[in-house]
Amino acid sequence: MIGGLVCVGALVIIAVIAIGIVWSAYNNLVKFDEEANNGFADINVACKLRYDLIPNLVAVAKQFMSHERETLEAVIQARNQAQSSLQTAAANPGDSGAVAAFAQAENALAGSMGKIMALAEAYPELKSDTQMVQLQTELSETEDKIARARERFNDQVTRFNVHRKTLPTVLFAGMLGFATDRDLLEFEDQEQISKAVDVGAMFDS
């Protein structure tokens, strides 16, 4: 009788400990997942600021680069595609496909901005225009915000992924709805892209 009670008590204790472990693992997964979502929200805000600036920049550039209409229109198209991809990714930042599509759209936008930067070298009046100088300053500041937000987001995603694969969490993560890692927000060549979208650089030379 006593032995049976001891066994039952031991099983109860083991069950309580197991539930506690699973509960703790779940809470931490939710916490780190939500932190990553909040991190992407910061990227969303910063990118929206940039998307608002780009049409203004193109409008000013058109005054001096009327013969570069195709290039300027390509920038607006790339900007619109990036904005659309951002909206999709922001709605579900844990969707690897949406995040990858957003990164790809940002790469395309960076390439288009890089072409403007190269062409602007032939337009000294554009480089010295007061409104354009102000826009490039705001754009440069916005790029810094995006870079910092992206770095924080990737740190938060890494924290989630490491926790998900760490014992004992890895034993329960799939059952708790966290079967896969989250994807980092990566660009093909971050240094090159940063230079391309740094429109301010074309006014400093």
Return the residue matching tokens 């300027």: 72
Q: How confident is the model at residue 16 (pLDDT cuts 50, 70, 90)?
A: confident
**Residues 74-78: contacts with CB under 8 Å, at least 24 apart:** 74/112, 74/115, 75/109, 75/112, 75/113, 75/115, 75/116, 77/112, 78/105, 78/108, 78/109, 78/111, 78/112, 78/113
- pLDDT bucket at 198, cuts 50 / 70 / 90: low
Mean pLDDT of the 103-108 span = 95
Residue entry with tokens 């705001």: 138
Are the beta carbons of 50 and 143 closer than 8 angstroms? yes
Cis peptide before 168 (omega within 30 of 0): yes
The pLDDT, as a whole number, for residue 80 is 98
pLDDT for 50 equals: 95
Predicted local confidence at residue 2, as pLDDT: 65
Q: Phi and psi at residue 176, in whole multiples of 5°?
A: -90, 5
φ/ψ of residue 113, rounded to 5: -65, -35
| Cβ 102 vs Cβ 81: under 8 Å | no
CATH 3.30.470.30 is the classification of domain 27-204: no
Tell me what the mean pLDDT of segment 105-133 comes to: 89
The predicted-structure confidence for 42-61, as pLDDT tens digits, reads as follows 999 999 999 999 999 999 99
User: For the chain, what are the domain ranges?
Assistant: 27-204
Structure tokens at 150: 């992206």
* Residue 130 CB coordination number (10 Å): 8
Q: What is the mean pLDDT of residues 141-157?
A: 95
Lowest-pLDDT choice from 118-127, 154-163, 188-197: 188-197
- Return phi, psi of residue 196, to 5°: -65, -45
> Which DSSP state fits 183?
P
User: Average pLDDT over the chain, rounded to whole?
Assistant: 88
Distance, first Cα to last Cα, the chain: 90
